[in-house]
Amino acid sequence: MAEISGTANLPPSGENQSETSERLWVAFVTATVALLVVVVVFTSVHWGFHPPSQVETIDSTSLHKGGEFSEANLGTVVAPDGSAVVRVVAQQYTFVPNCIVVPAGKPVTIRLASADVVHGFIVEGTNVNAMVVPGYVTTVHTTFQEPGERLMPCHEFCGVGHQAMWAHVRIVEASRFPTGADKQKAVNCAS
Amino acid sequence: MTTDDEIDKARLAQVLAEVPKGSVVVAVTAIAIVVAIWFAFYFYAFLPRGPIG
């Protein structure tokens, strides 16, 4: 060893130092990834944040003939507890109904079905964002906190009229929804 | 006289003994920035946009 130039002052534990720094680095990166995973799991479990589901199937060719997405059912129905279910049909090149009204501060379930091709929808300024695939029902649960009006465009290219396909979501005070016998009737902005 | 293997080991030991602190600082800073941006989006964009399920 003494014959090798420049090695006289070598620390005896050079490799160990390097291994130590690598172990520290692996621990640091592992801790960083673990922190992000913990935050994601906490968000999912504690607040119930989940990706929208698309597991229910439906016959997209017969939506208009009856069933859940028949014309009379499209719009918003408010349950006795104040929560709302919104049913919407996406088709080239519009959403039906084209203006959705929902209560502020109440749980809202949005259910969409496509009558033709793949569509998508996003409610501006919220996490509501999902695809609408023919043959499946897209279900999204959310709560709109502040009253106001938000755009809801189609965000999956669905044909030559795609750029003109959007709806409005009008968020109003829960007290403005129908009560009594009319409560089970589906409503929209025009109601 | 030493063999080539001994020379390599000695040089390797010398290189390994000098942990590049600058690169460690750069790497830690880079990851810290990325994680900070992730949390910024989480707290200032994702959560304010409301629940989703």
Q: How many structural domains compose chain B?
A: 1
Domain membership flag for residue B49: yes
Enumerate the β-bridge partners of residue A167: A152
Q: Tokens 């992000």 — which residue?
A: A36
Residue B49 in contact with partner chain A when CB distance is under 8 A: yes
Q: Select from A4, A18, A126 the Cβ nearest to the Cβ of B50.
A: A126
Alpha helices in chain B (DSSP H): 4-17, 21-41
Residue B2 in contact with partner chain A when CB distance is under 8 A: yes
Are B2 and A141 in contact (CB < 8 Å)?
no
Q: How far is CA A124 from CA A17, A87, A166, B32, B42, in A?
A: 53, 18, 11, 30, 17
Looking at residue A67, its pLDDT comes to 87
Question: Is residue A13 very low, low, confident or very high in pLDDT (cuts 50, 70, 90)?
Answer: low
Looking at residue A181, its pLDDT comes to 53
Please say whether the beta carbons of A52 and A110 come within 8 A: no
Q: Select from A6, A11, A49 the Cβ nearest to the Cβ of B51.
A: A49
Looking at residue A168, its pLDDT comes to 95
Question: Is residue A81 very low, low, confident or very high in pLDDT (cuts 50, 70, 90)?
Answer: confident
pLDDT digits (tens, 9 = 90+) for B29-40: 999 999 999 999
Tell me what the mean pLDDT of segment B2-11 comes to: 68
- Give the contacts of A29 (CB within 8 A, at least 6 positions apart): B31
pLDDT digits (tens, 9 = 90+) for A31-42: 999 999 999 999
Enumerate the β-bridge partners of residue A138: A112
CA distance A92 to chain B (A): 26
| Residues on chain A touching B31 (C-beta within 8 angstroms) | 28-29, 32
Task: Tell whether ipTM is more than 0.90.
Answer: no
Q: Tokens 């592992």 — which residue?
A: A30
Are B53 and A35 in contact (CB < 8 Å)?
no
Tell me what the mean pLDDT of segment A141-164 comes to: 94
Distance CA B11, CA B5 (A): 10
What pTM was estimated for this model as a whole?
A: 0.75
Tell me what the mean pLDDT of segment A154-160 comes to: 95
Are A50 and B52 in contact (CB < 8 Å)?
yes
Looking at residue A14, its pLDDT comes to 54
More confident position, A135 or A9 = A135
Helix (H) or strand (E) holding A42: helix A14-46
Distance CA B53, CA B51 (A): 7
Enumerate the β-bridge partners of residue A99: A168
Q: How many helices (H) and strands (E) does chain A have?
A: 1, 11
Domain membership flag for residue B10: no
Residue A47 in contact with partner chain B when CB distance is under 8 A: yes
Identify the domain containing residue B51 by its residue range: 20-53
pLDDT value at A186 more than 80: yes
Domain membership flag for residue B41: yes
- Give the contacts of A30 (CB within 8 A, at least 6 positions apart): none
Distance CA B52, CA A102 (A): 15
